[in-house]
Chains A and B, each alone.
Chain A
Amino acid sequence: MSKIHVTTTVNGEPTEFLCNATDTLLDVLRDELRLTGAKEGCGSGDCGACSVIVDDRLTCACLMLGAEAEGRRVLTIEGMAHGDQLHPLQKKFIEMAALQCGVCTPGVLIAAKALLDRNPNPTETEVRFGLAGNLCRCTGYDKIIRAVMDVAADQRETAR
């Protein structure tokens, strides 16, 4: 069986790749496109370490086939900063020590961005449920939740 040719957009860049029908988007990102920021923690959608945003919807790259990316827009952690400017969430995570080992961090940041893009004024409960699909074993989530709430508050302040 010949491979499938897929034309898509990854982090704003027109991108083409070849994949097998059963290759997941995560396989393609990591092995074909060498974008290893999305991590495979479980391969079953239970940890969120491979979170990406596809056409403005948060998803796990392990729960989507590479072939399904045809004509879509994919955002990975590698596309979150603008040039040499970190996204406010990225900056805040460093400042507030919202990571320890850092392996869940790319997924958490993508999920947090997806959350704030839709809900700029979340309650703590909304942040907690918004990030419930992202397992973190190091931090107990406390500093992650605080960092996301803090960025939301900063952005509201700037918007005023």
Chain B
Amino acid sequence: MMQAEYRAPTSVDEAVGLMAGSGGKGRVLAGGTDLLVQMRAGMQVPGLIVDVKRIAEMTSIVQQDGDWRIGAAVSGAEIHDHAGLRAAWPGVVEAINLIGSKQVQGRASAGGNLCNASPAADSVPALVAAGAVATVQGPNGRRAVPVEQIPAGPGRTSLAPGEIVVSLTLPARPKGSGDAYLRLIPRTEMDIAVVGCGVNLTLSGHNCVAARVALGAVAPTVLLVEAAAKALIGSTLDPASLEAAAAACRAACKPIDDKRGTIVYRTKIAGVLLKRAVAIAAQRAGKH
């Protein structure tokens, strides 16, 4: 039986080199809260484990020209403790902080949540709604990829062999903006989202001038629901517009029946959460 190798590089270049040289057997260890569980279940049998938590760029939060760059391996607990980031992007921070228990928060990262490519990942709809961009580095250098393009299906990403997600950048946004993420779970904690909904919008007076809406757990990947955003943009977030956006969310759903919810239920809840998340985001954007 082959025993895996463990490496903890201190630079992104080194990490990429290790991954590229692993013959496809390498797995990135960020928080590890998915990888270790999958290894235990025999779903992952890595030949090389590349622990990226000793790489400064991947474990820091930096603000630059209004953008926020979150290292892919920063834990949820550290993100929670970052007052500046919390004030700027409350919806994103809440979404990341919903991943698992306090114990899981001590390890789990947004980068790991994204690359695990679960359709139900809590942070991803919020990041997609935020218009977050992933910085990806591989053997051929760096590239910027919108977050919604990273997941390719349950457990699969669009990353090329040897590529890793280094950080996630939340773009600067105008005054009068607010974001929110809500999910439905059967209990109050410790569950995987049955449906998740991220909303990010900008108000000018009473009018919604920009909006992005994303849904989780209703399709093989997290969905950016442009039709829902369209129904909100230009409206005063009046009941009819909200219902139109909710209907767009329901229409976008392509869920499955499984142990966590039914098609009918998930579709219905997508609309319910949209309305509730919009209300929170709008309040944060300054709506009275």
Contact = CB atoms under 8 A, between A and B. Distances in A.
A in complex with B:
yes
Given A21-B3, A24-B36, A133-B189, A51 B103 contact: yes
Q: Give the bracket for the number of chain A residues in contact with chain B.
A: 20 to 34
A22 B190 contact: no
A63 B49 contact: no
Contact of A65 (B6, B37, B189): B6
A54 B53 CA distance: 14
Contacts of B39: 22
Contact of B5 (A21, A63, A114, A132): A21
A149 B5 CA distance: 45
Contact of B33 (A21, A51, A63): A63
A115 B103 CA distance: 11
B82 to A, nearest CB: 14
Nearest to A53: B106
B107 A64 contact: yes
Contacts of B51: 65, 67-68
Contact of B106 (A44, A54, A129, A134): A54
B101 A133 contact: yes
B261 interface: no
B77 interface: yes
Nearest to B75: A57
A139 interface: no
Nearest to B77: A57
A23 B106 CA distance: 19
A20 B6 CA distance: 8
A115 B190 CA distance: 17
B4 interface: yes
Interface residues of B, number: 30
B102 A133 contact: yes
B109 to A, nearest CB: 12
Nearest to A57: B106
A45 B31 CA distance: 12
B32 interface: yes
A136 interface: no
A29 interface: no
A67 B6 contact: yes
A10 interface: no
A54 B75 CA distance: 13
A68 B101 CA distance: 20
Given A59-B107, A63-B37, A64-B36, A21 B102 contact: no
B106 to A, nearest CB: 4
Contact of B36 (A20, A51, A65): A65
B8 A70 contact: yes
B24 to A, nearest CB: 17
Interface of B: 2-6, 8, 29, 31-33, 36-37, 39-40, 49, 51, 53, 75, 77, 100-107, 188-190
14 contacts: A21-B6, A24-B36, A45-B101, A57-B107, A58-B102, A58-B103, A59-B106, A60-B103, A60-B107, A62-B36, A63-B33, A67-B8, A129-B188, A132-B101
Query: Which 6 interchain pairs have the tightest Cβ spacing?
Result: A133-B101, A132-B189, A21-B6, A57-B106, A59-B106, A1-B3
